[in-house]
Structure 1
């Protein structure tokens, strides 16, 4: 029995060492890529812009792909939070989804049929605030892009 446990420990140690070597090798390869610093700066700049816009991660409304991804994430997260019993946060995410939706009336009809009435009423109450937050985010991103264009 001790032989089996020594063998198992030895195999686990070798596998762990190989995995760490694999991680170190590919991290070094990633960092030595010619555009690594450029991508890192761009990622940090985007995160900084989001933090400056009130900490929300609202998408760039000019990018259809970002809006669609954001919409799907918000609906999914809202539904999950509602299923867990977290009505406040769930409604907040659903409001974000309705605010960026291209057909909000149809989405509201679906939500009215699928969520409890008290949740739907809370959603309707918070919807104007979500719309204002989206408009403010869009205005902030527009002014930031104008400023960046002026600098170049």
Structure 2
């Protein structure tokens, strides 16, 4: 059995810990920057969630329509550059690799990107490119099967 002193010591330690938690929570909440930091974290989390949703639902254009492919290509390059400039490397590389995959001359674009991007970002792009290419091919196959079902 536990002695009275052990029970009292445990109670005192628990009370001190609870007081410690309450004190620092109040201190954190009374910080004038707390709400700004919290707002920024939530906005960043929401943006990442939207980006993840957008990445999973990228609507590829009809690859037979040159104008829509060109518009999609420019949009993906701009979005990729914007995300890279904001420091979001994963999503930026995702969009750039999609642009390379739908590009008419991917070898030329890869050479340009190799010169313009940092080596570690370019390595990420080269690792991501096969995955994106497979996704585009599977989307084209699924679209073709849907078209055949309609006919």
TM-score range for the pair, normalised by the shorter chain length = 0.5 to 0.7
Partner of 2:82: 80
Superposed CA offset, 1:35-86 (max 9, x none): xxxxxxxxxxxxxxxx9xx622111111111111110000000000000000
Whole-Å separation in 2 of the counterparts to 1:72 and 1:139: 24
- Count of paired positions: 97
What is the aligned partner in structure 2 of residue 71 from structure 1?
Answer: 73
Question: In structure 2, what is the Cα distance between the partners aligned to 1:128 and 1:140?
Answer: 18
Higher relative CO (Cα under 8 Å, sequence separation at least 6) belongs to 1
Tell me the C-alpha RMSD between the 2 structures.
1.4
Gaps of 5+ in 2: 1-52
Q: Give every structure 1 segment of 4 or more consecutive aligned residues whose post-TM-superposition deviation is greater than 6 Å.
A: none
Instruction: Pick the aligned partner of 1:57 from 56, 59, 65.
Output: 59
Cα drift, residue 91 of structure 1: 0.0
- Tell me how far 1:103 sits from its aligned partner: 0.4
Q: Does 1:122 align with 2:119?
A: no
Q: What are the equivalent positions in structure 2 for 1:2-17 lying under 5 Å apart?
A: none
Q: Does structure 1 residue 139 correspond to structure 2 residue 145?
A: no
Q: Tell me, which stretches of 5 or more residues in structure 1 are unaligned?
A: 1-50
Q: Deviations over 1:8-49 (max 9, x none)?
A: xxxxxxxxxxxxxxxxxxxxxxxxxxxxxxxxxxxxxxxxxx
Q: Which residue of 2 aligns with 1:110?
A: 112
